[in-house]
Amino acid sequence: MNRQSTTAQAARDELEETRRRQLIEVTIDSLAEVGYVGSTLAQIASRADVSPGLVAHYFRDKDGLLAASFRTLARRLAQRVQARFALAHTPRGRIQAVIDANLAPEEFDQRTGSAWLAFWGQVPHVQGLKRVQTVYQRRALSNLCHALKSLVPAHEAHSLAAMIAAMIDGVWLRAALSSWQEADSASARALLTAFVDGRLKEYGPAAAEPAGPSRPAGPSRHGASPAIITSINPATGAVLAEIRVDGVAEVNAAVGRALEAQHLWAAMTGAARARVLRRAANILRARNRELAELETRDTGKPIQETIAVDVASGADCLEYFAGLAASLAGEHLDLGPQAFGYTRREPLGVVAGIGAWNYPLQIACWKAAPALACGNAMLFKPAELTPLTAIRLAEVFAQAGLPDGVFQVVQGYADTGRLLTRHPQIRKVSLTGEVGTGMAVMADAAASLKHVTLELGGKSPLIVFDDAKIDNAVAGALLANFYSAGEVCSNGTRVFVHRRIKAAFLERLQARSAAMRVGDPMDSATQVGALISEAHMEKVLAYIARGRAEGARLVVGGHRVTTGDLANGFFVAPTVFEDCHDDMAIAREEIFGPVMTVLEFQDEDEVIARANATEFGLAAGVFTNDLTRAHRVIARLQAGTCWINHYNVTPVELPFGGVKLSGLGRENGRVALEHYSQLKSVYVAMTDVDAPY
């Protein structure tokens, strides 16, 4: 075979493999919904939009398809156990890894659980399934036994391993028999952990050593890297997890995997990619509470926000771009009778996403959704302060059937980020972060001429005219400053209020700000949670001190909150300054905390000039009842994202991004597809070639 036909064969093999995987995911869905008997070849073919003959071509018959699906589930579970083993440092940690992997939320849910149940019911009757089950059972026992041998006498290790395995199966079966009404992954793991701890105690203190902090599985690591990220709950100071940092070897390996996977992914139709993204959106919604709680612990943001916004907006974004994936198209161009042309919209290849810490999961989704819809593979690095939910997103994608390697998480500090931005085989980087980071990223990306999208900081104006509904304007100013404790890039922190209504505005603003409830972020009544870190809190408090020193009048707040349990966390009261001037530091620089500056103005031209007198240009808002004025003013404001009579609402349909130093490119909206794809122009000759020589 020549080289060309070898390559063509490899491409066909890849495509076949992709189809096989798709059919397996559809089978798992089908088993979960209609059970073993209902899952016929015809039914699965119709769900997958293919002919029954094609399913038979790949799997021969129903038993072949089900055995392949069962093997996929068992292999996936084995990989999860291995990933957790890589982070477990003690025998007890390895036992915990088996428990955590088997009872992880992504295993312990209705879809996966119902599929396992359907298989188990058939194991005694179908030889192919029996073999998979035997291998799976042996592997679980041997993993447990191996770890137990260093904790208990050798002759007891086997029976204890069998007991733990039986407990896992039992907990799992009970959940399945309750139709997953009583399925709670955290309680199931706690039950098993207590059982194992209790049994090990009988063998003395050495065996009963704690399993150590739970370490979420990151990407596979090659070679030991000493650097560790310690993730802290900013509300309590407690350690949440320790994550190993990825270095050169890990990033190169991840890029290698992504390059391979991207070809497969891009070869799938847009409609097939859409199905995976839609499934991921559904899984995110199904796991909303668990993910919101994790996000709250990692960021300090109130649960009432994360449960309503963070996970849901990520899911909305995946769903939106799933809807667009099949609509990617080029155009046909008529070039007269001798030729025509057409364009193809193609993916860029392997792209990188680098996230900030304020909306970790949402940012990961905002970058991944358009990237994957276009057929790219993505390496995503979350901010080192919030490394946890991106790992969960990778699990969700795997569960949704995304081919391995298409979305990978790399962990680390700015050094790891630089490995991505300087990597010659990464074709694009999308960053959410500070202006200085944006400049560094763009400079690094220049060496390999990468595409860049930069979502950077801001110091946005919110203008309240004297005809505005004051209560709406006050509500808008609160949303523009105190949501997520002020850690929002688009916040309208310069609130320009018309002189005629300033006193009334301030009176209501003071009352509503003072009534805001600062507290434990896990309490659903809490409205203002913790800032991301002690260092960041100190920075915010230093700005407050500077505002006072520069002569601004403190209307409300202005201090750290340390009452009761909050003493160990990084809480700052919602703070409003008035009598501010445009040249004060608090009115010029991004604080990224709950600090609002109120500035007075008298006329439209004056306020527009002052609003635009900043190097930033992320967002702007106008409150007025005069429609003509609203549009006139918005047209003159230098900002990428604007609101009339509202603030900080960011529906996925509307492009989001900044001008001036606030960034380049846009996220969300149909336009985001252009930032993750490139055009190929094709000229097609319809006549003989008439060369002049």
For binding to ligand NDP (CB under 6 A), which residues are involved? 354-358, 381, 383-384, 413-414, 417-418, 421, 431-434, 437, 440-441, 455-458, 489, 590, 592, 618, 658, 663
Q: Helix, strand, coil shares of the chain as percentages rounded to 5?
A: 55, 15, 35
- Tell me which of 106, 295, 305, 455 is the catalytic residue: 455
- Tell me which of 62, 301, 367, 502 is the catalytic residue: 367
Which residue number, 106 or 384, has a Cβ lying nearer to ligand NDP?
384
- Tell me which of 145, 365, 374, 489 is the catalytic residue: 489
Residue 484 DSSP one-character state: G
Query: Smallest distance from the beta carbon of 423 to ligand NDP, in angstroms?
Result: 11
Query: Smallest distance from the beta carbon of 605 to ligand NDP, in angstroms?
Result: 28
Transcribe 95-125 into DSSP letters: HHHHHHHHTSTTTSSHHHHHHHHHHHHHTTT
Which residue number, 262 or 437, has a Cβ lying nearer to ligand NDP?
437
Which residue number, 489 or 556, has a Cβ lying nearer to ligand NDP?
489
Cα 143 off chain centre by? 32
C-alpha to C-alpha distance for 369 and 320, rounded to whole angstroms = 8
Query: Smallest distance from the beta carbon of 431 to ligand NDP, in angstroms?
Result: 6
- Residue 455 annotated as catalytic: yes
Which residue number, 185 or 493, has a Cβ lying nearer to ligand NDP?
493
Residue 383 DSSP one-character state: -
Residues sharing a CB contact under 8 Å with residue 14, sequence separation 6 or more, in sequence order: 263, 264, 267
Helices 52-59 and 3-38 cross at an angle (nearest 10°) of 110
Which residue number, 143 or 641, has a Cβ lying nearer to ligand NDP?
641
- Residue 642 annotated as catalytic: no
SS3 126: coil
SS3 254: helix
Query: Smallest distance from the beta carbon of 440 to ligand NDP, in angstroms?
Result: 4
Residues sharing a CB contact under 8 Å with residue 362, sequence separation 6 or more, in sequence order: 309, 310, 313, 314, 317
Q: Which residue has the tokens 């447990």?
A: 144
C-alpha separations of 528 from 431, 561, 646 in Å: 27, 11, 20
C-alpha to C-alpha distance for 11 and 17, rounded to whole angstroms = 10
Which residue number, 354 or 398, has a Cβ lying nearer to ligand NDP?
354
Nearest residue to ligand NDP, by Cβ distance, number only: 417
Query: Smallest distance from the beta carbon of 459 to ligand NDP, in angstroms?
Result: 9
Query: Smallest distance from the beta carbon of 491 to ligand NDP, in angstroms?
Result: 8
Which residue number, 101 or 420, has a Cβ lying nearer to ligand NDP?
420
Query: Smallest distance from the beta carbon of 443 to ligand NDP, in angstroms?
Result: 9
C-alpha to C-alpha distance for 115 and 78, rounded to whole angstroms = 16
Residues sharing a CB contact under 8 Å with residue 114, sequence separation 6 or more, in sequence order: 31, 32, 33, 35, 176, 180
Which residue number, 200 or 489, has a Cβ lying nearer to ligand NDP?
489
Query: Smallest distance from the beta carbon of 61 to ligand NDP, in angstroms?
Result: 50
Q: Which of 446, 400, 450 is closest to 425 using CA atoms?
A: 450
C-alpha separations of 292 from 216, 361, 422, 511 in Å: 16, 9, 33, 30
Q: Which of 546, 543, 594 is closest to 570 using CA atoms?
A: 594
C-alpha to C-alpha distance for 476 and 648, rounded to whole angstroms = 8
Query: Smallest distance from the beta carbon of 532 to ligand NDP, in angstroms?
Result: 8
CB atoms within 10 A of CB 375: 26
CB 513 within 8 A of CB 506: no
C-alpha separations of 485 from 9, 257, 453, 571, 598 in Å: 56, 39, 26, 9, 18
Which residue number, 418 or 588, has a Cβ lying nearer to ligand NDP?
418
Task: Report phi then psi at 681, rounded to 5.
Answer: -100, 135
The distance in angstroms from the start CA to the end CA of the chain is 37
Q: Which residues have a catalytic role annotated?
A: 367, 455, 489, 667
